[in-house]
Structure 1
Amino acid sequence: MPTANPEESKMSFWSHLDELRKRIVNVAIAVGIGFVLCFAYSEEILGLLLLPMNATVAFSLHFPFVAFTPNKTVQTLHFTALTEPFMSHLKIGFIAGIMLMVPVLLRQVWLFIAPGLLPRERKYAGQFVFFATIFFAVGVLFCFFILLPIAVPFLISYKAEHLTPIIKIGDYIDFTLKFMLATGAVFELPLIMILLGRMGIISVDSLTKFRKYALLIAFIIGGIVTPTPDAFNMTIMSIPIYLLYEIGILGVRILGRKKDPDSTSLTEI
């Protein structure tokens, strides 16, 4: 029986390490470009982020299908440190830059893991990057147009008869951008499930049996990724996560690998 050459193993390890370094450099360059672009328009981005706080969203069947109507009472953001406005705009540039460059980041992740995949798995590279970008964008838009217009007014008006909101710009940007980033990431769940189903790692049967635990895990994940620890935001984040799990089951049922009657499923071992 042939034995592995230690020198070849060492070279393989260092080649993988070098590949990881290249991907990290590419990711850093992409995020840097995204940061510069978004920082240049940080004031405009901040104006958009203020819409869920100072306007009411309305949907229609006519173009542009969605519109924000300004509220009569306008909330203003405050700062308590001299550097806070500047640092907040830097934060906008960085987090928005990451979201802008998601297609590049996903491409770099795929290129790093591709050498370890089978040829039949590598052929899904383009589809993976395309649909992962679409799912992420849908998640970000869902958060901006649905979740934030619900969460922000609720939190501002909560016990308003006893409290006066003084919202710091840094806290508000943290809440909105991280909420959008987390929602975009969570919306990748159906795609990941379909990908694992195509590889034969999971099946519809195993996902259906696991369904009774999915709701609990959805609330746990919702509590982790929600920027604030309150139960309201955790709930409005957790319900979509569970619905995404159900969409993932449907996707695996339609697009997953068909069970070979002569083979044993991984879930049956």
Structure 2
Amino acid sequence: MSDIVDRARAAVSERAELPGMSLMEHLEELRRRIIRAGLAIIIGFFVAYGFHAQIYNFMQQPITTALAAHHMPTQLVYHNPIDPFNMYLKISLMVGCIFASPFVLFQLWMFISPGLYANEKKYVVPFMVATVGLFLAGAYFGYRWVYPGSLDFLLGYSKEFKPLIEINEYTSLFLTVILGLGVTFELPIVVLFLSLFGIVSPRFLWKNIRYAILIIFIIAAIITPTPDVLTMCVFATPMLTLYLISIGVSFMVHPTRRKARAEKRNAK
């Protein structure tokens, strides 16, 4: 643990001492990037709000299908007249953030790019495509399999009761599952940044793979709609694959490997 902390401190110090920019200039650059990202999110929010009804119909489809399959009323309810308006604002903000994410990621990349070698700066497009693609893959995985399966199991388990599903509670559950899986699929990107600054190494990730497998199966057991082991393995497999991919990503971008490649190029 102390080794990771020391690496993190060294990474921060190295970032603050990049040539050509003082600490105040770094902070000013960070402020500009945050303001631009915030403006992009605001624009994304207004664009998403223009389609709030269509977005909610898309979100409502899994519960409507599950309720109809169990011969239950498909209309959701609300307790306060302001609840639908607040719900539309909430989902518009979430979808607006997704719309703005490529630009926000570009701002993030531009902030960290001074710490990269010249030949590594060309990876901005693959970085953004991978980040957005992994998030959408995780969200689709949740929307297509995890969430419908969970709803079907839960409704089938409580057939003797009449459901009165409140729109805000349903929206919160939907966003928790879908966004949670989307963020989970970003594991290779998180490892990329940690490895880029030398905080973790491929050796560290491989050495602790047994603990990673344990954590992955615990998460899979929580989100799996049925208690059988086969279904749990189906959910755990994508996450384990992402962890193995993360080890390869760490190997490619770790400072020791980057310096070795740079020295090899200079020797030619």
Instruction: Calculate the TM-score normalised by the size of structure 1.
Output: 0.71
- Aligned match of 2:29: 19
Compare the two structures and name the one with the higher strand fraction. 1
Residue of structure 2 aligned with 1:44, choices 54, 57, 81? 54
Rounded to whole Å, the distance in 1 between the matches of 2:178 and 2:22 is: 39
Matches within 5 A, 1:23-102: 23-55=33-65, 71=69, 73-102=72-101
Which string of whole-angstrom CA distances, capped at 9 and with x for unpartnered residues, describes residues 209-246 of structure 1? 211100333367x49xxxxxx66569969724334213
Alpha-carbon distance in 2 for matches of 1:193, 1:134: 16
Alignment RMSD? 3.4
Aligned pairs for 1:113-192 (under 5 A) are 113-161=112-160, 163-192=161-190
Cα offsets for 1:177-203 (capped at 9, x unmatched): 232222112112134446766887522
Indicate if the aligned counterparts of 1:190 and 1:244 stay in contact, CA closer than 8 A. yes
Letter of the 1:45 partner, please give it: I
Give the length in aligned residue pairs.
Answer: 229
Q: Deviations over 1:146-195 (max 9, x none)?
A: 1111122223333332x332111111111112322221121121344467
Structure (1/2) with the larger helix percentage: 2
- Is 140-149 or 230-239 further displaced after alignment? 230-239
Cα distance between partner residues in 2 of 1:97 and 1:180: 15
Letter in 2 for 1:40: G
Report the CA distance shift for 1:23/1:158 in structure 2 as closer, same or farther (over 3 A): farther
Structure 1 Cα separation of the partners of residues 114 and 195 of structure 2: 20
- Structure 2 CA distance for aligned equivalents of residues 33 and 106 of structure 1: 15
Question: CA 1:234–1:189 in structure 2 vs 1: closer, same or farther (change >3 Å)?
Answer: farther
Q: C-alpha separation between the residues in 2 aligned to 1:137 and 1:17? A: 31
Gaps of 5+ in 2: 1-18, 261-268
Which has the bigger relative contact order, CA under 8 A and spacing at least 6? Answer: 2
- Other-structure match for 2:107: 108
Q: Is the 8 A contact 1:20 1:112 kept in 2?
A: yes
Structure 2 length-normalised TM = 0.71
* Deviation of 1:48 (Å): 0.8
Amino acid aligned to 1:37: V
Cα–Cα, structure 1 residues 150 and 247, in superposed 2: closer, same or farther, change >3 Å? farther
* 2: CA distance, partners of 1:26 / 1:198: 24
Find the counterpart in structure 2 of residue 214 from structure 1: 212
Report the 3-state secondary structure (helix = DSSP H, G, I; strand = E; otherwise coil) of the residue aligned with 2:79: coil
* Structure 1 portions without partners, runs of 5+: 1-8, 57-69, 224-229, 264-269
